[in-house]
Amino acid sequence: MDSPNEQNFFLRRHVELLLSSYQRLTRKALITDLAPDKSAKAIWEAPFFVASHNAAADPVLTYGNQTALDLFEMDWAQFTSTPSRFTAEAPERAERERLLTTVARQGYIDDYSGVRISSSGRRFRIERATVWNLIDEAGIKIGQAATFSRWEYLDEETPKC
Spell out the domains of the chain, with CATH numbers in brackets. 9-111+128-148 (3.30.450.20)
Best CA proximity match to 124, nearest among 83, 158, 95, 97: 158
The alpha carbon of residue 24 and the mean position of all alpha carbons in its chain are separated, in whole angstroms, by 17
pLDDT truncated to tens, each residue of the chain (161 aa)?
A: 789 999 999 999 999 999 999 999 999 999 987 777 799 999 999 999 999 999 999 999 999 999 999 999 999 999 999 999 999 887 777 777 888 888 888 899 998 999 999 999 999 999 999 999 999 989 999 999 999 999 999 976 545 55
3-class secondary-structure state, position 130 = strand
The whole-model pTM stands at 0.89
- C-alpha 13/C-alpha 37 separation (Å) is 10
Best CA proximity match to 134, nearest among 33, 30, 47: 30
